[in-house]
Amino acid sequence: MKVVTNIFGSSLGKKYVMAISGAVLFLFLIGHLAGNLQIFLGPDVINRYGHLLQSNPELIWPARLFLLLMLVLHVWSAARLTIENRAARPMRYAQYTPLAASYASRTMMMSGLIVFTFIIYHLLHYTVRVKAINLTGQDFAGPEFQTPIKGLIGEHQHDVYRMMIVGFSNFWVSAFYILGMALLSLHLSHGISAMFQSLGWKNRVYGPFLDRAARVVAILIFLGYVSIPVAILLGYGKEAL
Amino acid sequence: MNLTLRVWRQKNANSPGRFETYEARNILEDMSFLEMLDVVNEELIQRGQEPIAFDSDCREGICGMCSLVINGIPHGGRRGTATCQLHMRHFKDGDTITIEPWRARAFPLIKDLVVDRSAFDRIIQAGGFISVNTGGTPDGNAIPVPKPDADAAMDAAACIGCGACVAVCKNASAMLFVAAKVSHLNLLPQGKVEKDRRALNMVRQMDAEGFGNCTVTGSCEAVCPKEISLSFIAKLNRDYGLATLKGK
């Protein structure tokens, strides 16, 4: 019991919860990016990958529920910590100069909230496939987004490739996606190194390296994700439209 | 030089405070910031007005008594410098200087620029000590201490407990103070005996006092007059986590 109160009832413990859940979500981002980038290998490859995930509910659902739990823990700890932090300074300074603190570190709550709204939109857009919000007038869940599986007569799989091309061809959808990724990258540029600090896995020897690596990784993740809508807006996969 | 001061005046914790403007005339650049305030107070006393209340003691940067948020930065923003060591040569003739007290729920205001920092004392009482039975004086080098550990412990022990880390932190977190005090003793063989208990109890007291949480912005390290490193906070996180895993 002491372990539970030490973790969920203390300031440091809540930061462990935030760091560990953040680490899992960060690893998911890398996996998700690796999956998405298969769009550049052509429709067959990414559609096969999409079918692999969608045809294995006993694997995908535990993964989804686990990620949801991590997201809930991440948001819960952020909310609790923010409430406590606000309460710790009831009277603000008339003049206050942020010292040494990076822009990202001071705006984690704001970048996090915007990324959170992005995640909800993104799930409704490509996972639940709500027609009304994709702004293209096409139904991603409809039969026109089904494609035959090669070698299996009569079997169909979801045409993930065409869905992505059609989806990102809309300028506003891509713009919101790029904004979401930019804020996610800002969030990560602080979060990746801060999680090592919160878990106590940082010292003077490799601490400065972690700080720099966090920024580089955040930028790489941004470039990786954004490459897809940018390529599509520039004409990649036009034949699928 | 002549300066304009905007100073926070507040009779006590229960009455509302406000900024008052004062002129500081004929200030020498070799004066410390506190000596400048002394000059202003002398003038106020001569005019029969209430002098500005502020904390100070040793005035040589080692006691941790002086405070003051000067133009939005605790201790005025000169690296490794407490307010008492801040010299007026860093200001220009005609400057307007805003002076506020430390602002944190855990540091209730007493008067004007004086706040009650006994929350730090209670955190020390929760574990910032080594329990030894009195007896004969131990031999000088009877317990070997590796040199890097001794140096790191001394770096942590340099903390003077002024509270600037809390004052500058956007969350009013006392993590740098607690980390320094925990690390100072946890790094040494004499203190390692109570390592787990110390980390848990001091963090528990820190939370009970109503300080905020660390969001790793690094402001505390930048403002600390003793330049205590953020890496001690990582060590505190580690010590607390290990103690928790051990089921302590």
Structural domains of chain B, ranges and CATH numbers in brackets: 3-110 (3.10.20.30), 118-245 (1.10.1060.10)
Q: How far apart are the first and last CA of chain B?
A: 59
Does some domain include residue A94?
no
Cβ–Cβ gap A88/B172 under 8 Å: yes
Proportion of chain B in helix, strand, coil states, percent, rounded to 5: 40, 15, 45
Q: Report angle CA A198, B148, B124 to the nearest 5 degrees.
A: 55
Which residues are A147's β-sheet partners?
Answer: A157
Q: What is the mean pLDDT of chain B?
A: 96
Q: List, for residues A200-234, the tens digit of each pLDDT value.
A: 999 888 999 999 999 999 999 999 999 999 999 99
List all residues 6 or more positions away from B243 whose beta carbon is below 8 Å from its beta carbon: A6, B195, B196, B197, B199, B200
Backbone angles phi, psi at B219, to 5 degrees: -65, -40
- Helix (H) and strand (E) counts for chain A? 9, 2
pLDDT of residue A1: 66
When scoring B155, B173, B237, B248 by the number of chain A Cβ atoms within 10 A, the one with the most, hence best to mutate, is B237
Q: Which residue from B212, B221, B248 is facing A89, i.e. has the nearest CB?
A: B212
Distance CA B214, CA B237 (A): 10
pLDDT of residue A172: 96
Chain A contact for B189 (CB, 8 A cutoff): no
Q: List, for residues A145-161, the tens digit of each pLDDT value.
A: 999 998 888 889 999 99
Residues 146-185 of B with CB under 8 A from A: 168, 170-173
Distance CA A219, CA B180 (A): 34
B chain contacts of residue A194, beta-carbon cutoff 8 Å: 215-216
Cβ–Cβ gap A197/B216 under 8 Å: yes
Q: List, for residues B97-156, the tens digit of each pLDDT value.
A: 999 999 999 999 999 999 999 999 999 999 999 998 778 888 888 899 999 999 999 999
pLDDT of residue A50: 95
Q: Are A178 and A115 in contact (CB under 8 A)?
A: no
A chain contacts of residue B19, beta-carbon cutoff 8 Å: 94
Q: List, for residues B166-204, the tens digit of each pLDDT value.
A: 999 999 999 999 999 999 999 999 999 999 999 999 999
Residues 8-47 of B with CB under 8 A from A: 8, 19
pLDDT of residue A197: 97
Cβ–Cβ gap B231/A11 under 8 Å: no
- Count structural domains, chain A: 1
Q: How many CB contacts within 8 angstroms connect chain A with chain B?
A: 152
CATH code where residue A219 lies: 1.20.1300.10
Cβ–Cβ gap A197/B233 under 8 Å: yes
List all residues 6 or more positions away from B118 whose beta carbon is below 8 Å from its beta carbon: none
What average pLDDT does the segment A11-31 reach? 98
What average pLDDT does the segment B83-97 reach? 97
Task: Provide the greatest CA pair distance for chain B.
Answer: 64
Residue A177 token pair: 């996606």
Q: What is the mean pLDDT of chain A?
A: 95
Backbone angles phi, psi at B140, to 5 degrees: -50, -60
Cβ–Cβ gap B237/A203 under 8 Å: no
Q: How many residues does chain B have?
A: 248
Output the CA–CA distances (angstroms, integers) from residue B120 to B52, B62, B188, in the order listed: 24, 16, 22
Q: List, for residues B39-67, the tens digit of each pLDDT value.
A: 999 999 999 999 999 999 999 999 999 99
Does some domain include residue A64?
yes
Residue A98 token pair: 């942020």
Which residues are B100's β-sheet partners?
Answer: B69
Provide, rounded to the nearest whole percent, the portion of chain A with pLDDT above 90.
Answer: 89
What average pLDDT does the segment B206-212 reach? 97
Distance CA B82, CA B85 (A): 5
Output the CA–CA distances (angstroms, integers) from residue B4 to A104, B15, B18, B96, B200, in the order listed: 35, 25, 16, 5, 47
Q: Which residue from B237, B239, B245 is facing A197, i.e. has the nearest CB?
A: B237
Q: List, for residues A74-109, the tens digit of each pLDDT value.
A: 999 999 999 999 999 999 999 998 889 999 999 999
Distance CA A100, CA A1 (A): 39
Q: Are B242 and A43 in contact (CB under 8 A)?
A: no
Q: Are B237 and B182 in contact (CB under 8 A)?
A: no
Proportion of chain A in helix, strand, coil states, percent, rounded to 5: 75, 0, 25
Q: Report the run of H or E that residue A146 belongs to, with start and end.
A: strand A146-148
Q: List, for residues B158-167, the tens digit of each pLDDT value.
A: 999 999 999 9
Q: Which residue from A98, A101, A200 is facing B241, i.e. has the nearest CB?
A: A200
Distance CA A71, CA A110 (A): 16
Q: Between A198 and B142, where is the model more confident?
A: A198
Reference B195, options B132, B240, B150, B134; nearest CA is B240
Q: State how far residue A16 is from chain B, nearest Cα, in angstroms.
A: 8
Cβ–Cβ gap A200/B203 under 8 Å: no
Q: State how far residue A99 is from chain B, nearest Cα, in angstroms.
A: 5
Distance CA B241, CA B142 (A): 31
For A26, other C-beta atoms within 10 Å of its C-beta total 17
Does some domain include residue A96?
no
pLDDT of residue A114: 97
List all residues 6 or more positions away from A182 whose beta carbon is below 8 Å from its beta carbon: A222
Minimal Cα distance from B97: which residue of A?
A95
Residues 118-177 of A with CB under 8 A from B: none
pLDDT of residue A211: 94
Residue B176 token pair: 């740098």
pLDDT of residue B247: 86
Distance CA B211, CA B205 (A): 10
Does some domain include residue A193?
yes
Does some domain include residue A6?
yes
B chain contacts of residue A108, beta-carbon cutoff 8 Å: 215
Cβ–Cβ gap A7/B171 under 8 Å: no
What average pLDDT does the segment B211-226 reach? 97
DSSP 8-class letter at B50: P
Q: List, for residues A48-71, the tens digit of each pLDDT value.
A: 999 999 999 999 999 999 999 999
A chain contacts of residue B73, beta-carbon cutoff 8 Å: 97, 99
Structural domain harbouring A71: 2-88+102-240
